[in-house]
């Protein structure tokens, strides 16, 4: 009977399946998990704009931390900064960008530089000194062109008179050589020729001088236009840089003192219960839970021991703390992906992401989803028999002997 019992025990051990399991802590959440909003500055909470459970949208200001600026002034200023370069008068500038805004030490210096550069640009355009100077130069250029045309006409007449005088002088030379005219008559004609020649050269020199002056005025006008354009461009660049610096300073201020919602969802509080409550840097103030739930995932930390047996697609049993598995049953999941290297720190291990189709348990119950459900994950590594597990304990004896 003892022998039969032993044989039956071996047969049962050889056929009885036994799952090898590795356990780890798991957090079940959705692919769009809740966002925790932490304080980036210590101090009092000056304003709480929403209550727990309220629906908030991306960009909504949930609260404000203590600072020396007026939030309304900062928000209005940021909204108006897109109108840069569209203001033409100082009156409009003062209406859109009032000088008395309460911006605090973090923003006031940048705002003053922005206003100063805008003033310079508007004054440059409104005083119109350059336009007056250009108009004067253009008028001078027009008069110069009229003088050139007149001198050109005079030069043409003088050239004709010189040609006539030269022809007359040559004729009298021939007559003098023949003895028809006297020496005195020839000298008189020669004097007239030389006078016409001198007059022609004088007018030609004046014409050349007027042409040079005309080119000089053209060069001055071009240089003046280039200087004016360069001045305007420099002022616009200075204004643009000061605008960008101011926007960057405002964004930094908002990131430090305003608690904004990064997503759409429902608002949840942590340790906050009212205004003027003190918070520390890094303390979680709000959480925004997405209204639209995406696919479920599980993030599990598995110890390094036996982690080499992990494979994608292995079955996983989830025991959730919110729903004791003795009463509710276990949720089924599968191994989705495994980190290539282990996580360091006080609790080293591999990060395993689990694929969860639904929250229906092994008892047929449908669990209600709450963001970040904590529990234990049991990953079924390999199905072996009981006798195989017994022989595993002695396999190293034969292996060491063969080695």
Kindly report the three-state secondary structure assignment for every residue of 205-253. Answer: HHHHHHHHHHHHHHHHHHHHHHHHHHHHHHHHHHHHHHHHHHHHHHHHH
Residue 395 has pLDDT above 50, yes or no: no
pLDDT given for residue 236 in this prediction: 81
Predicted TM-score of the model (pTM): 0.55
Indicate the range of 42-56, 304-318, 385-399 predicted with least confidence.
385-399
Q: Which two tokens stand for residue 255?
A: 């990131």
pLDDT given for residue 396 in this prediction: 45
Summarised one tens digit per residue, pLDDT across range 236-269 is 888 889 888 999 999 998 888 888 888 888 888 7
Output DSSP code: residue 156: H
pLDDT given for residue 64 in this prediction: 87
* Average pLDDT score over residue span 318-339: 86
Find all residues with CB under 8 Å of 61, minimum gap 6, and list them: 49, 71, 75, 258, 259, 260
pLDDT given for residue 392 in this prediction: 45
pLDDT given for residue 293 in this prediction: 64
């Amino acid at each position: 009977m003892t022998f039969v019992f032993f044989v039956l025990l071996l047969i049962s051990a050889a056929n009885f399946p036994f799952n090898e399991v590795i356990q780890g802590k798991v957090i079940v959440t959705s692919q769009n998990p809740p966002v925790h909003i932490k304080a980036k500055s210590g101090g009092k909470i000056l304003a709480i704009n929403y209550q727990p459970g309220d629906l908030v949208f991306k960009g909504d200001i949930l609260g404000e931390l203590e600072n020396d600026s007026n939030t309304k002034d900062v928000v209005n200023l940021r909204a108006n900064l897109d109108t840069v370069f569209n203001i033409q008068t100082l009156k409009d500038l003062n209406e859109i960008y009032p000088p008395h805004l309460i911006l605090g030490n973090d923003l006031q210096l940048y705002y003053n530089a922005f206003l100063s550069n805008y003033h310079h640009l508007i004054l440059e355009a409104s005083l119109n000194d350059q336009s007056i100077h250009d108009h004067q130069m253009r008028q001078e250029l027009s008069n110069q062109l009229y003088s050139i045309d007149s001198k050109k006409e005079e030069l043409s007449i003088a050239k004709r008179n010189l040609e006539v005088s030269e022809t007359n002088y040559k004729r009298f030379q021939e007559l003098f050589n023949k003895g028809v005219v006297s020496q005195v008559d020839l000298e008189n004609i020669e004097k007239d020729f030389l006078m016409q020649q001198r007059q022609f050269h004088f007018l030609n020199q004046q014409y050349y001088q007027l042409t040079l002056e005309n080119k000089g005025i053209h060069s001055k006008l071009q240089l003046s236009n280039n200087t004016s354009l360069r001045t305007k461009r420099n002022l616009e660049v200075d204004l643009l840089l000061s605008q960008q610096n101011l926007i960057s300073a405002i964004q930094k201020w908002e990131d430090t003192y305003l608690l904004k919602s990064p997503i759409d969802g429902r608002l949840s509080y942590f340790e906050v219960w009212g205004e003027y409550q003190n918070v520390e840097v890094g303390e979680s103030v709000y959480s925004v839970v997405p209204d639209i739930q995406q696919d479920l995932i599980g993030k599990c930390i598995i110890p390094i021991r036996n982690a080499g047996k992990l494979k994608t697609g292995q079955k996983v049993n989830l025991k959730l703390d919110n729903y004791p598995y003795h009463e509710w049953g276990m949720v089924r999941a599968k191994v989705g992906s495994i980190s290539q290297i282990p996580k360091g720190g006080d609790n080293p291990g591999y990060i395993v992401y689990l694929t969860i189709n639904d929250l229906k348990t092994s008892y047929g119950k449908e669990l209600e989803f709450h963001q970040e459900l904590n529990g234990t994950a049991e990953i079924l590594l390999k199905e072996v028999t009981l006798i195989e597990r017994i022989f595993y304990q002695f396999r190293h004896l034969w292996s060491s002997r063969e080695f």
